[in-house]
Chains A and B, each alone.
Chain A
Amino acid sequence: MGLSAVTVLGVDRPGVIATVTGSLADCGANIQDSTMTLLGGHVAMMLLVSGELDSAELLKRLCAPDVVVTASAIDARRHFCEEGDGLAYVLTVHGPDRPGIISAISAVLAEDGGNITGMSTRLTGRLYVLIADVELPKEVDVAALMRRLAAVGAALDSDITFRPVESDLL
């Protein structure tokens, strides 16, 4: 079965999601994973849909000039529908806004094979906040990684917390 990645960007207004998902349903696409948020007054949505999605047909059915939609066929990748076997952590960074915060922090994680599986950043006034879900390989020296993150945070005048995810399976 085909798999497509759909991105949606448009001015936030009631009905945007209903319009887009209605058009997807009309095209016979079945929504699997999706995420949606507001970015600076714009609705931003990404969806993974299964089924034979004809992007030209989707755009024709959409009829929403204030929404930009793209659709691309993709292959299923690793981790999809699989539980990871790494260590789950949550990273928080907050401090004065400046260029390069995400790249500096993510580079430290990448050096140890850390994978960012989710991320939100927000700017409010002078305060920049980054929250990231991180999956670490089991063999990582977490204490050493935390020291490197703290050093990078200090260089950015930012506070960093890095703590394990506490999830309970019931």
Chain B
Amino acid sequence: MRAGTPRQVLRAPHPLLSAVAEPVDPTAPEVVSAAADLLATLRRETSTTGLAAPQIGLSWRLIAFDTRLHPRSRSWAGELVLANPRLARAAHWDPGREGCASIAGLTADVLRASRITVHGHLPGTGETVTIEADAFEARCIQHQLDHLDGLLFLDRVPGALSLHRRLHSCDA
């Protein structure tokens, strides 16, 4: 995959962050190019561990993630871009405080599965891959999958007292 060009990360409120993203052909040149841009943007945004294409202005079902450096990571699938990712299994639900590169200054306690199986395609070859993720990587992937369905972590806040100003570091 060619080196991509970092793009601006959209901030909420923005209509693209509330829209359901479209499936893509993972072998299409424009999709491969977008995947490279998504990865380049993720590498530039060092405070976050994942991004979804709508966050860089593309309403396509593409996500990128790399949780290697996060202290609560256990599984690590690598630095990956997945096209048309699909959650096949989710188990062991745990609360955790998370934020988002598209929402400055807020965090919330969100219930996520800590063991998941995700199917998707690699941009370029179109190869089908299956990711078994747990702990923080599972949370990160589910956060990105929500973006593809037009959901923010705010839509999963379990109660009025679970929304917080970001006064310290959290899972982003």
Residues on A lying within 8 angstroms of B by beta carbon are 35, 38, 90, 92, 94-96, 118-120, 122, 124-127, 129, 131-133, 157-159, 161, 165-166
Shortest distance from the beta carbon of A16 to any chain B beta carbon, whole Å? 16
Chain B contacts for A92, CB-based, 8 A: 154-155, 157
Given A96, A122, A131, A165, which contacts B13 in the complex, CB threshold below 8 Å? Answer: A96
Q: B161 contacts the other chain (Cβ, under 8 Å)?
A: yes
Within 8 A of A (CB), among B97-130: 103-106
* B155 close to A161 (CB less than 8 A): yes
A126–B105 CA distance with the chains assembled, in angstroms: 12
Instruction: Take A132-B160, A133-B159 as given contacts and tell me if A126 and B13 are in contact as well, using a CB distance cutoff of 8 Å.
Output: yes
Chain B contacts for A94, CB-based, 8 A: 12-13, 152, 154-155
A35–B13 CA distance with the chains assembled, in angstroms: 29
* A122 close to B157 (CB less than 8 A): no
Q: B23 contacts the other chain (Cβ, under 8 Å)?
A: no
Chain B contacts for A131, CB-based, 8 A: 154, 157, 159-160, 162-163
* B159 close to A129 (CB less than 8 A): no
Q: B89 contacts the other chain (Cβ, under 8 Å)?
A: no
Chain B, residues 1-33, CB within 8 Å of chain A (1/0): the string is 000000000011100001000000000000000
A158–B13 CA distance with the chains assembled, in angstroms: 8
* A118 close to B158 (CB less than 8 A): no
Shortest distance from the beta carbon of A151 to any chain B beta carbon, whole Å? 16
Number of interface residues, chain B, beta carbon within 8 A: 20
Chain B contacts for A166, CB-based, 8 A: 158
A125–B162 CA distance with the chains assembled, in angstroms: 20
* A120 close to B106 (CB less than 8 A): no
Given B18, B105, B162, which contacts A124 in the complex, CB threshold below 8 Å? Answer: B105
A26–B103 CA distance with the chains assembled, in angstroms: 44
* B154 close to A129 (CB less than 8 A): yes
* A159 close to B165 (CB less than 8 A): no
A125–B159 CA distance with the chains assembled, in angstroms: 22
Chain B contacts for A126, CB-based, 8 A: 11, 13
Chain A contacts for B13, CB-based, 8 A: 94-96, 126-127, 157-158
The 9 A-B pairs at the shortest CB distance, nearest first, are namely A118-B160, A124-B105, A161-B155, A120-B160, A120-B163, A133-B160, A131-B160, A96-B13, A131-B163
A159–B157 CA distance with the chains assembled, in angstroms: 14
* A90 close to B154 (CB less than 8 A): no
A119–B155 CA distance with the chains assembled, in angstroms: 15
Chain B contacts for A158, CB-based, 8 A: 13
Instruction: Take A92-B155, A94-B13 as given contacts and tell me if A124 and B103 are in contact as well, using a CB distance cutoff of 8 Å.
Output: yes
Instruction: Take A124-B104, A125-B104, A159-B155 as given contacts and tell me if A119 and B160 are in contact as well, using a CB distance cutoff of 8 Å.
Output: yes
A28–B140 CA distance with the chains assembled, in angstroms: 49
Chain A contacts for B12, CB-based, 8 A: 94, 127
Instruction: Take A118-B161, A119-B160 as given contacts and tell me if A124 and B154 are in contact as well, using a CB distance cutoff of 8 Å.
Output: no
